[in-house]
Amino acid sequence: MRIGSKQAPRILLVDDEPTNLRVLKQVLQAANYRLSFARSGQDALKLVEKEQVDLILLDIMMPEMTGLEVCERLKQNSATADIPVIFVTALKDSIDEEKGFEIGAVDYIVKPIVPSIVLARVKTHLSLIKADELLTTHIDLIHRLGRAAEYKDNETGMHVQRMSRFAKIIARAYGFCEESAEDLMMAAPMHDIGKIGIADNILLKPGKLTAEEYEIMKTHAQIGGEILSNPSSYLIELAHSVAMTHHEKWDGTGYPNGLSGEEIPIEGRIVALVDVFDALTSERPYKKAWSTEKAINYIMEQSGKHFDPALPLYFYRNSQNCLKYKLSLQN
């Protein structure tokens, strides 16, 4: 392997028949996969404890421990639960495909195997793993960039973690499905990315900003929009919307575009509220932290002014969940 190149995926082949293992070995070695072998379910479980495996081809009909039992054990272990399992079974075997999928298998291959089908199925599921890894990396990068911006004016960088989780809680209460609420939680950390373009003498000023300094500070929303412009993914598109609109106000007095009411995307309206709440209840260079009660009262008072009139009540009803999460980060 060349220095700097990525290793080929490792596939574990599990079958009590040596002939079957040899056939699979010939097919998969030709495609340059790294291979490991196990002759029983017990051996397979021991092997995955010792080495990282990307995919498992698992015979169903084995003595002592069937492939179904092995799969169940793998999925019960958090360290191995995410390894895709493809069952390999003979046509004459009586199997319950629904049961196999129910316990976590991703596919079936029927014996006698057809090399082209084996290669296609393996390639497909390894590609799905790669796609998941890319999404995970993408999300991780979004959070890291959000925290990088937050470190400019927050020593711990925890604001982005708190407000993004608050955003998910309120989004679910508002009616978002779990997936959409999760998307908002992942995009919200980028809301203040534009702060990296604001000079420290303004961003970190301990006192009140002058009118001129405040106008400069307000440009961070536009800067964030420019950084996230022309997005190539839905999450960045969502982050762009949040960055551009979380300082807009329901009554039209916000910035950068003076949007009002439902002209402001719902994701911007939600982030606006949770961002203000966390900012009020956190100590900053220019102010002391407000009490929770005082901050909630302010948000309720700003219903229909700063905030979408529907949101403060959802926030009030779910404020304890937000506070529990905030406390969990402090412990």
User: How confident is residue 2, by pLDDT bands cut at 50, 70 and 90?
Assistant: very low
Share of the chain above pLDDT 70, in %: 87
CB 189 within 8 A of CB 147: yes
The tokens of 79 are what? 């360290």
Structure confidence by residue, pLDDT tens digits, 314-328: 999 998 888 787 777
> DSSP code of 195?
G
Structure confidence by residue, pLDDT tens digits, 78-105: 889 989 999 998 755 556 677 788 888 8
Stated pTM of the model: 0.63
Instruction: For strands 107-111 and 55-59, give the pairing.
Output: unpaired
Over range 172-186, report the average pLDDT.
92
Task: For residues 277 and 225, give the distance between their C-alpha atoms in angstroms, rounded to a whole number.
Answer: 23
Residue type, 37: F
Task: For residues 109 and 117, give the distance between their C-alpha atoms in angstroms, rounded to a whole number.
Answer: 8
Contacts of 224 (CB under 8 A, 6+ apart): 190, 191, 192, 193, 194, 195, 240, 243, 244
Residue type, 255: Y
Residue type, 271: V
Q: Which residue has the tokens 């949007």?
A: 259
111: which strand partners? 90
Structure confidence by residue, pLDDT tens digits, 135-169: 676 666 666 666 666 656 554 457 888 899 999 99
The radius of gyration computed from the CA coordinates of the chain, to the nearest angstrom, equals 26
